[in-house]
Amino acid sequence: MELVDDQTAVVTGAASGNGRAIARTFAENGADVVVADIQEEPRMEGRPTHELINSETDSRATYVNCDVSEKSDLQNVMATADEFGGIDILVNNAGILNIVDFFEEDDEYQQQMSINVDAVFYASQIAGMKMVENGGGSIVNISSVDAYFGDGRFVGYCTSKGAVKTMTYALADALAPDVRVNAIHPGPIETAQTTYDADLIGTEAEQERVKTIPVGRIGAPQDIANASLFLASDLADFVNATSLLVDGGQSNTHSH
């Protein structure tokens, strides 16, 4: 069963990491995908996401250069989705994490708010209007467990992800009943995008971190992709304004 067959999905930050896995998983489940990212090549290695989709699945994909902090770029991405029949699914995945001393955080704070918060607002506004006009859709916002827990290493990041969590609830109300809006809060994920996690891979520090995760492993981008697919599909037709922790149980157990 292809869960998002004949739908069009826009995934921001889809060249690498979680976004790349999300885009590929949607395509494998029948969706055409607009890969929106500030760069075409993945951060690690391999072919660009849209090329992989076009060669390995029956779905169509295209890449659109997109700086999500630029509203005009977001409008261009949504217009590209119209060429595939109109947007049905939006995954606001693009994000940035700056690790900086709180007393020195300045431009880094503004950058994180622009990319992690403002972009989610405007992308959802543009896509949401199209979805309402087209009869419905689903928006999935990729937040973080740091929306729940403060971390002094990155105050601005925690602030931005907390804003995404609350915005998700407000968007779900604003766009009801046509569009469902939910948030995913990843825990530690093995991806080069999150520097402080990537630096731990294969180290003793990673082994110590694993001990705090009840399922016994660090997360993978595919874990976030699977959760995104569920929330975007009709399997989650009665799931709205929900925060889904995808962290192996770390946040809500004594292991945290």
Residues tagged active-site: 157
DSSP readout, 75-134?
A: HHHHHHHHTTT---EEEE---------GGG-SHHHHHHHIIIIIHHHHHHHHHHHHHHHH
Q: What contacts 220, CB < 8 A, 6 or more positions away?
A: 21, 189, 190
Give the number of C-alpha atoms closer than 13 A to the C-alpha of residue 4, restricted to the C-beta side.
31
Q: What angle do CA 153, 93, 192 make, to 5 degrees?
A: 55
Query: Which runs of consecutive H residues, i.e. helices, occur in 175-232?
Result: 195-198, 204-210, 221-232
219 secondary structure, DSSP code: B
Give the number of C-alpha atoms closer than 13 A to the C-alpha of residue 238, restricted to the C-beta side.
0
List, in sequence order, every residue forming a beta bridge with 34; answer none if it has no partner: 10, 62
Q: Between the CA of residue 1 and those of 28, 29, 172, 217, what are the distances in Å?
A: 10, 8, 27, 29
